[in-house]
Amino acid sequence: MKQATHAIHHAAAEGYTATADNYVRGRPDYPPEVADWLRDTLGLQAGRTALDLGAGTGKFTPRLVATGARVIAVEPVAQMRDKLSAALPQVEALPGTAQAIPLPDASVDAIVCAQAFHWFATPGALAEIHRVLKPGGKLGLVWNMRDARVSWVAQLDQIVNRVEGDTPRYYTGAWRKVFPFDGFGPLQEQHFSHGHTGSPEDVIVMRVRSTSFIAALPDAQREIIDAQVRALIAATPELSSKEVVTVPYETAAFHTVKEY
């Protein structure tokens, strides 16, 4: 399929092409409660088929594999998809977008969009998701967000958000406007708290670098962001001179059911 990059936002096409390695290194994992959510809420188990839509490098994909379900991944950015295939050769990884999913009608039991739905929250994408789901199938939406109730995290977010431009983001809530959607039931919501532990370079600097619109900036501008982030680390007692730190996160998990 050749529609991959021109059908996605320029920040994703440019940024994720450039930053696949940083994405693998800097992105947090998901909390253990997600396993229960996938099993009990989305109904994933052996004998079912799950689609990881907008799968990226496969950060969430192992959670789907662990359910015992057959897992298919769809990702438009080749560099990200290659990382997924190298790490998870048992997963069928296909090029495609949410607006053009390369699967038959009513062929999957659940579709999960992890850190992705805000990129394609349109009626066209939901209609395509609806087409691919079996009757009674579930759509799951998952986001990991830094917990900005912590003061230094709020300062970090300010550094990042200043350069977001027109990039779609979860925190704006704009993605919610596509709901309710004909054929899907009401959107249900759950939240889980956890932390991302590692070196400040990995869990803070590389996490910021993996942000699509920052990765897409010219080198000089990215260096300014790096300097601002490192200055924040140096000025924060909880972070300064620490070899290992924990960034607090909250995971938001939503689901809806294909009713007809």
In a domain, 102, yes or no: yes
Cα–Cα distance for residue pair 257/184, rounded to 1 Å: 5
Q: Look up the CATH number of the domain holding residue 99.
A: 3.40.50.150
In a domain, 162, yes or no: no
Residue 20 pLDDT greater than 80, yes or no? no
In this prediction, residue 4 carries a pLDDT of 40
In a domain, 229, yes or no: no
In this prediction, residue 27 carries a pLDDT of 81
In a domain, 59, yes or no: yes
In a domain, 82, yes or no: yes
**For 163-178, what is the mean pLDDT?**
96
In a domain, 89, yes or no: yes
**Strands (E) located in the chain:** 49-53, 70-74, 92-94, 108-114, 133-146, 188-198, 245-257
Cα–Cα distance for residue pair 38/45, rounded to 1 Å: 9
pTM: 0.89
Cα–Cα distance for residue pair 174/164, rounded to 1 Å: 14
**For 34-41, what is the mean pLDDT?**
98
Residue 174's domain comprises: 10-146+168-194+250-257
Residue 72 pLDDT greater than 50, yes or no? yes
In a domain, 34, yes or no: yes
In a domain, 238, yes or no: no
Count how many domains the chain has: 1
